[in-house]
A and B are shown apart, each in its own frame.
Chain A
Amino acid sequence: MSFRLLHLSDLHLDRAFAGVGCFGEVARRRREGLRDALRRAGEAARQTGCDAVTIGGDLYEHEHAGLDTGRFLADTFASWQPMRVFLAPGNHDPLLPGSLYERTRWPANVHLFSGTTLEPVALADGLHLWGLAHHDPAWSGDPLEGAPVGPGVHLALFHGAELGGRPPGKSLHGPFQAERIAQRGFAAALCGHYHRRRVDPVARLLYPGSPEPLTFDEEGGRGPVVVEVTERGHVEYQPLALNRWTAVQHDCDLEGSGSSGEAVERARACAREALGGLPPERSMLRLTLRGEVSPDLALDLPLVEAAVADATGVATVRLRDLTTPAIDVEAAASDRTARGAFTRTLLAAIDREDDPGERALLGETLRYGLQALAGAEVGLR
């Protein structure tokens, strides 16, 4: 008899969304949306006849999680009975003293993996689920460390970073090699950490992705995946599309914009184009402003963001100003005036600087200085 379970991860309940430009009511809506995502996942599990739900870490964010979240989780999981729920804490929700995992009275159908090495739980006759918990927000152990498992079908559930498919800049928690999954004898590794969905039957690896996009670059399909272990021990995956929110990134060319009004109008047009067909009230939009603009152009990004949000009704919009002022920096650097000395000094400093943040700051210094030396109003970014 086959066994079916629904796997999800990286829900990040109680996440702060300020980083993506969501504040106040919108942020609250987003957080409520995450709870809805969990409820929908449970409903989907019930509808697809799953026997269990596995959650591969980052269920909530320890730093922001309130006590109410613990009650919500306990109530939600209790409502899923008789489905069993398996929790494998990750780096954002480590099994710390005083954490929700410890403080919440979990219903009987919840099993919380608490060991730092994989430990088994029988799912069915001959089918075992192995799981572990992060006890440290910066745990860097190998989750697949250990001897091969015995006979039968074994699934692994943990929060970890597969080194072969690590997105650039993604933090390294519980690093492992995909080859180790088969070497240890697991039929599948049900993982969490990467927010982009990755279903890799060959490598026996499953990252369902965050159920709702949390950052602007989290585009594409995501969310819970139904995992079925057939009678013959084969593992089949059925990704579900349950997300209600959408992240959109779009470029906006401001080349030649002579005034801030013109720039705003272009940004509005780009936003409308990017959001075509999407429900704006559940969309996150990031516009990247590009092009060479007049050095006199002073763009106040919050104002532009507000203008775009008003025009499109999008839940959240964030502008990234990658425009460059139409200043011939090379020419400026070549003259013998104070402007030339200023430009040369800064260009040399930028050239020496390795820290991207400091380089950006020096770039802004150059921009402001050249604007001022051009006799123009300094446009703040």
Chain B
Amino acid sequence: MRLERLEVGGFGRLRDLRLDLAPRVTVLWGANEAGKSTVHRAVRVALYGIGAGGPGRAVERSDWVRWQPWDAGSYGLALTYGLRDGRRYRVARRLEDREQVVQVQEIGGREVTDRFRSGRLVVPGQVHLGIDEAVFCATACLGEDGLRPDAPDAAAQRADRLQEAIQRLADSASRATAAEALGRLRQAMDRVGTEARSRSPLGLATARLRRVEGELARARERTEATAREMDRLSGLERTAAAAAARRNECEGEWLAGRLAVLGATRRALAAGQEEAARLETITETWRSFAVFPVECEERVIALGGELRQLEEVSSEAQRRWNDARERLRAAERRRVEISTAIRALGRVPRLERDDLALARRLEAEVAAEGAVARRAEELRTAEARATALGREIAATGLACIAPGEIDSLGPLVATAATGPQRRRLRPLQRGTGAVGALAALAAVAVGHARVAGLILGAALVAIAVTLLVERFAGGPAQAARRQLAHRCPGLDLTEEALRRATGRIPDLRRLHADRQRQELLVEAGRDEMETATARIAELSARCLQLAARIPIEVPAPPGGAAEQAGAGGLLGRARQALTAIAAAEDAARRRAELEAEDAQLAREESAGRELREDAERKATARGELADELAGHLRRAGLPADPDTARAVAAFRQGASTRRQFEGARDRLDEVRRRLAAMGAGDERALVRQATQLEQELRRRGGDPEAAAKGTPRDATALRHLEITAERARELAASTLNEASGLRERLRGMFDSLPSIADLEDERAACLVVRDRALRQLEALRRASALIEESARRVHREVAPRLAASVAGRLALLTEGAYDEVHVDPERFAVRLHSRGRPDLVPVEHVSHGTRDQVGLLLRLALTEVLGEAGEPVPLLLDDPLLSADPRRRRTAVEFLLRLSADTQVLLTTADPTVAEQVAASGIDGCVAVNLDELTARRGVRIA
């Protein structure tokens, strides 16, 4: 940026000023109060505006008020400047009002004011230089102390100030260094204090909070303790109330119990007196039983029992005897019969086991030979069948036809049957026979037997004649008949018979076949029968031998000898023998059975006799017991009674009566004693006592009438109630006593109980203070940490760039005397490297002029580092050489002239030699202006 023209309408002491600035160095010289510093301020105002008060800043103390024109005229200024790229701007500010009017015009272009607004301000300096006003002031605006070559301070102090200035610029744009800011924060933290510092606000709040919290905890404990005591008091009161209620209840129950006892006593007295009267009557009535032999009761009862038992046993024995008597008689009769039967059986042969076995085997063999009998029967049947067939053949009327001629005679028979037989004479024959017979009978009847014979002979002759006629009067049939008659004499040759014979020929043939078959069977069986007969004969002999050996007589068989010699007869004989043996066996068995039965019956007879003896024995014993019982009854004055049960019951009744009498007597004595014990004769005292108890019970809410009617408690229960009531009373009393003490103590506790709410309030207040302090502390700590960290970071970034920037310029300006600069990032300590020295030289060890130059270059470098807008920042030097000696002043001016090659310098001074030096330098772009002359020219107006 190069400043071209400053136009001041009115600003401080300046009025209507127009200042054209040289491109390199402009020296404004003039006397004091000529307005040199005002020019500098006017340039700043043009670039950054002017504060007119506002939030937190009083208007009257603002720069706007301070720089108002002295003559109260128009208040405003304008600045024209150009940039590296050739653009040119004019900033015009009218400052009459606090709300200042600003206009930025791009020369040759349009108004661009809005481009330079930052908040409410218009700051072209900030936009084009890249630094705010603070940085601009700190870096580009140097006052009297900015370049003071001959300052009285020690070199080290001046170096420190330089470092501090750089730090201030780098940390906060010249307001404060980070260290100073940290110091401010530490001061604030000190004001807050710490929890450990008891005199600090935080310490006080913390200590107070701890105290209050302790008090609060104690208050809560005391409150809790009081609450517990209250609970205990409630418990005690409940216990006392319960005990009182219990006492009242027990006393009520005791009273009710006592009333019940009294009521019962009174009732018992009445009942006892009544009972005594009743008992006296009873004893009087039963006095006769006073001597009843009650001691015999057990014996009588035992006798009764025994007698009843014996009667039952005797009756049972008698019954059994009665039952056995008939059986005994039957047995005797039976034994007679058995004896007779045994005798009737006679001698019974002794049958050995072997004989019996042999007999069984023989029986088996005989049975086996039964097949022979069946075979014989079949033979007989075949014979009978053959005979029957013969009869059947005979019945056919064709028996005359031999079996071998049947086939040959068959056609003859058929032929004979085809012709008719003369039978017309047959009725005549019959009639003749009948008449002859009748007549014969009639003659016999009348006694003419001869006549009758004659008649009958005549009839017969007549019949024979007719028959002959019929015989000889036939044809072929008749011939056949005749042939038949010849070959088969006896064949019925009647027509009818022949027709039948014709039909029967097949049957005849079959009959003959059957007959022949039967005859063959008979023939074959006959041989078989002969063999069997011999075997059976031997068998029969063995049977008979066995019977004889036993010995058993075998009866002779019926029938003839032939019959006996046959197989059937032999077999029958054997069977007879075996039957006889079997009969003998049966007889022996029967005898054994009878003998066994007889023995059994003998035993039964013996048992029957024993029953009889037992019945007799028991009847005797019963009679003895009955006599003893009768004796006891007699001694007791009781009538004899055949009925044992009744007798015993009568005796027991007498004994019972005796005992009842004695019981009544004893009871009477007891009742009399009890009545005496119950206070018989002093009922008034009982009534008085009951009345008192009733009154007591009524006081306790009880019902005396119900109590009097209630079940009386025993003495133990009443005593228990008394004890319980007493304990309840004692408990109630002790509990009430304890409760009373506790209540008194609680009253004191209540009165001294701190208010938790008050303490909570106080605690909350402490908390508020402490929390606020802690919060402040935390914020301050954070701010400190962040500032420290930010400063360190910025320093690390800025230091090398500063060094590079200064080194370049310094080498150029010192013609290579110093070619290297090192800037410490911690404290911005500057060291230089010069030719001829191997080490770095601290800036405080170099010459004053070099030191001043380095300081100025550092400022310029800072504007670049902090701004980075790319525009060179013009240097506004307000009489920085005021106190310098002429040599240093000359050296400094020379440095500025060299510096102005790339940095515009506006230098104000009261020293005319500086202006002269600049003017004499002959460098283009450098002018010296006498401000006094300049301000004498008026007429400048700010548009």
Contact of B765 among A18, A28, A294, A364 (CB under 8 A): A18
Query: Could you say which residues of chain B place their CB within 8 Å of the CB of A341?
Result: 790, 793-794
Say if the beta carbon of B681 comes within 8 Å of chain A.
no
A339 and B778: CB pair below 8 A?
Answer: no
Contact between chains at A335 and B866 (CB < 8 Å): yes
B184, B227, B753, B757: the one within 8 Å of A27 (CB): B757
Partner of B757, one of A66, A258, A328, A331: A66
Segment with Cβ contacts to B, from A79-87, A210-218, A278-286, A371-379? A371-379
* Shortest beta-carbon distance from A181 to chain B in Å: 35
Choose one: B750, B767, B780; the contact of A68 (CB below 8 Å). Answer: B750
Would you call B779 an interface residue if the criterion is a C-beta within 8 Å of the partner chain's C-beta atoms?
yes
Q: Quick one: CB contact mask for A227-245 with B, threshold 8 Å, 1 for yes? A: 0000000000000000000
A336 to chain B, nearest CB (A): 5
In this assembly, does B761 line the interface, its C-beta being within 8 Å of a C-beta of chain A?
A: yes
Tell me, rounded to whole Å, the shortest Cβ–Cβ distance linking B620 to chain A.
99
* Minimal Cβ-Cβ distance residue in B for A301: B772
Q: Tell me whether A203 is interfacial, beta carbon within 8 Å.
A: no
Q: Are B756 and A65 in contact (CB under 8 A)?
A: yes
Most buried by A among B169, B181, B227, B778: B181
Q: Is the CB of B757 within 8 A of A373?
A: no
Residues of B near A294 (CB, < 8 A) are 55-57
For residues 231 through 271 of chain A, which have their beta carbon under 8 Å from a beta carbon of chain B? 255-258
Residues of the B chain whose Cβ atoms lie less than 8 Å from the Cβ of A335: 131-132, 135, 173, 866
Of A256, A346, A366, A378, most buried by chain B (CB within 10 Å of CB) is A378
Segment with Cβ contacts to A, from B5-13, B186-194, B561-569 = B186-194
Task: Flag whether A326 is at the interface (Cβ < 8 A).
Answer: yes
Asked if B762 is at the interface of the complex by the 8 Å CB criterion, the answer is yes
| A328: chain B residues within 8 A (beta carbon) | 119
Determine if A88 is an interface residue (Cβ-Cβ < 8 Å).
no
In the bound complex, what is the Cα–Cα distance between A291 and B234 (angstroms)? 61
Q: Which of B623-631, B719-727, B781-789 contacts A (4 or more CB under 8 A)?
A: B781-789
Whether A138 sits at the interface, judged by CB under 8 Å, is no
| B132/A331 in contact, CB under 8 A | yes
Q: Does A111 contact B (CB under 8 A)?
A: no
B227: A residues at CB distance < 8 A: 67, 98, 103
Let me know if B324 is at the binding interface, CB within 8 A.
no
Q: Complex Cα distance A68/B786, Å? A: 53
With A24-B761, A28-B758: A337-B170 Cβ-Cβ less than 8 Å: yes
Instruction: Report if A296 contacts B (CB, 8 A).
Output: yes
Given the known interface contacts A15-B757, A67-B227, A368-B783, the answer about A256 and B790 at a Cβ–Cβ threshold of 8 Å is no
Say yes or no: is A139 at the interface (Cβ < 8 Å to chain B).
Answer: no
| Residue from the list A67, A331, A380, A381 in contact with B119, Cβ < 8 A | A331
Q: Is B118 interfacial (CB 8 A cutoff)?
A: yes
CA distance A205 to B339 in the complex (A): 134
Interface residues of B in 744-784 (CB under 8 A from A): 750, 753, 755-758, 760-765, 767-769, 775-776, 778-780, 782-783
Q: Which residues of B contact A27 (CB under 8 A)?
A: 757-758, 761
Given A64-B756, A256-B53, A338-B787: A378 in contact with B170 (beta carbons within 8 A): no
The answer to whether B55 touches A68, judged by C-beta atoms less than 8 angstroms apart, is no
A120 at the interface (CB under 8 A from B): no
| Binary interface encoding of chain A residues 172-201 relative to chain B, with 1 for a CB under 8 A from any of its CBs, else 0 | 000000000000000000000000000000
Partner pick for B191 among A19, A365, A371, A380, CB 8 A cutoff:
A380
Restricting to B498-520, which residues have a CB under 8 Å from any CB of A?
A: none
B95 CB to closest chain A CB (Å) equals 20
- Does B756 contact A14, Cβ atoms closer than 8 Å? yes
Mark out the residues of chain A between 317 and 368 whose CB falls within 8 Å of any chain B CB in the assembled complex: 324-326, 328, 330-331, 334-342, 345-346, 361-362, 364-368
Q: How far is the CA of A340 from the CA of B180 in the complex (A)?
A: 16
Q: Check B178 for interface membership: any CB of A closer than 8 A.
A: yes
Minimum C-beta distance from A13 to chain B (A) = 9
Residue of B nearest to A375 (CB): B176
Q: Which residue of B lies closest to A26 (CB)?
A: B761
Contact A372 B223 (CB under 8 A): no
CB of B58 closer than 8 Å to a CB of A: yes
Q: Is A31 an interface residue (CB 8 A)?
A: yes
Would you call B868 an interface residue if the criterion is a C-beta within 8 Å of the partner chain's C-beta atoms?
yes
The yes or no answer to B226 lying at the interface (CB within 8 A) is yes
Interface of B: prevailing SS: helix
Decide: A292 near B55, CB < 8 A? Known: A364-B776, A375-B184: yes
Q: Is the CB of B762 within 8 A of A23?
A: yes
Among A16, A256, A324, A373, the residue within 8 A (CB) of B760 is A16
Given A18-B765, A27-B757, A98-B227, residue A338 in contact with residue B178 (CB < 8 A): yes
Residues of B within 8 A of A23 (CB): 761-762, 765
Distance, CA A103 to CA B235, complexed state (A): 12
Decide yes or no: A380 and B192 within 8 Å by CB, A346-B786, A372-B184 being known contacts.
Answer: yes
Which of B61, B760, B783, B794 counts the most chain A CB atoms within 10 A?
Answer: B783
Binary CB contact string for chain B from 103 to 119 against chain A (1 if under 8 A, 0 otherwise) = 00000000000000011
Note all chain A residues with C-beta closer than 8 A to B178. 338, 373
| A338-B753 in contact given A293-B55, A378-B780, A380-B192 (Cβ < 8 Å) | no
Q: How far is the CB of A252 from chain B (nearest CB, A)?
A: 15
Q: How far is the CA of A107 from the CA of B794 in the complex (A)?
A: 76
Tell me, rounded to whole Å, the shortest Cβ–Cβ distance linking B174 to chain A: 9
Contact string against B for A residues 288-303, beta-carbon threshold 8 Å, 1 for contact and 0 otherwise = 0001111111000010
| Beta-carbon contact of A378 and B762 below 8 Å | no
Q: A66-B757, A255-B55 are in contact. Are A336 and B868 (CB under 8 A)?
A: yes
Are B56 and A257 touching (Cβ within 8 A)?
yes
By CB atoms of chain B within 10 A, which of A14, A23, A258, A339 has the most? A339
Instruction: Check A16–B55 contact: CB distance below 8 A.
Output: no
Query: Which residues on B sit within 8 Å (CB–CB) of A166?
Result: none
Determine if B223 and A67 form an interchain contact, defined as CB atoms under 8 angstroms apart: yes
Q: Are A105 and B234 in contact (CB under 8 A)?
A: yes
Q: Give, as a whole number of angstroms, the nearest-CB distance from B199 to chain A.
A: 17
**Chain B residues with CB under 8 A of A340:** 794
B794 touches A337 (CB 8 A): yes
**B182 at interface (Cβ–Cβ under 8 A)?**
yes
Residues of A near B58 (CB, < 8 A) are 256, 258
Expressed in whole angstroms, the Cα–Cα distance for A293 and B54 within the complex equals 9
Q: Is the Cβ of A373 less than 8 Å from the Cβ of B172?
A: yes
A339, B171: Cβ atoms closer than 8 Å: yes
Cβ of A338 and Cβ of B763 under 8 Å apart?
Answer: no
Query: Do residues B176 and A67 form an inter-chain contact, with CB atoms below 8 A?
Result: no
Chain A residues within 8 Å of B786, by CB: 342, 345-346, 365, 369
With A336-B865, A338-B794 as contacts: A369 and B132 at CB distance below 8 Å:
no
Query: Which residues of the partner chain B approach A339 to less than 8 Å between Cβ atoms?
Result: 171-173, 790
Contact at A67–B866, with CB atoms within 8 Å?
Answer: no
Contact with A378, one of B188, B755, B791, B868 (Cβ below 8 angstroms): B188
Partner of B764, one of A18, A105, A337: A18
Taking CB atoms, residues of chain B closer than 8 Å to A334 are 132
User: For the complex, is B373 an interface residue (Cβ under 8 Å from A)?
Assistant: no
Smallest CB-CB separation from A328: which chain B residue? B119
Inter-chain contacts of A369 with B (CB < 8 A): 181, 185, 783, 786-787
Shortest A18–chain B CB gap in Å is 3
Interface residues of B (CB under 8 A from A): 53-58, 61, 118-119, 131-132, 135, 169-173, 175-176, 178, 180-182, 184-185, 187-188, 191-192, 223, 226-227, 230-231, 234, 750, 753, 755-758, 760-765, 767-769, 775-776, 778-780, 782-783, 786-787, 790-791, 793-795, 865-866, 868
21 A-B pairs with CB atoms under 8 Å apart are A16-B764, A64-B757, A65-B756, A67-B753, A103-B230, A105-B234, A293-B55, A302-B769, A328-B119, A330-B119, A331-B118, A336-B865, A345-B790, A369-B181, A373-B176, A373-B181, A374-B172, A374-B175, A378-B185, A378-B780, A380-B188
12 more A-B contacts (CB under 8 A) besides A64-B756, A257-B56, A364-B779?
A15-B757, A66-B756, A256-B54, A292-B56, A330-B118, A334-B132, A335-B132, A336-B865, A337-B135, A368-B783, A375-B181, A377-B187
Closest 4 CB pairs of A and B: A294-B56, A18-B764, A292-B55, A369-B783
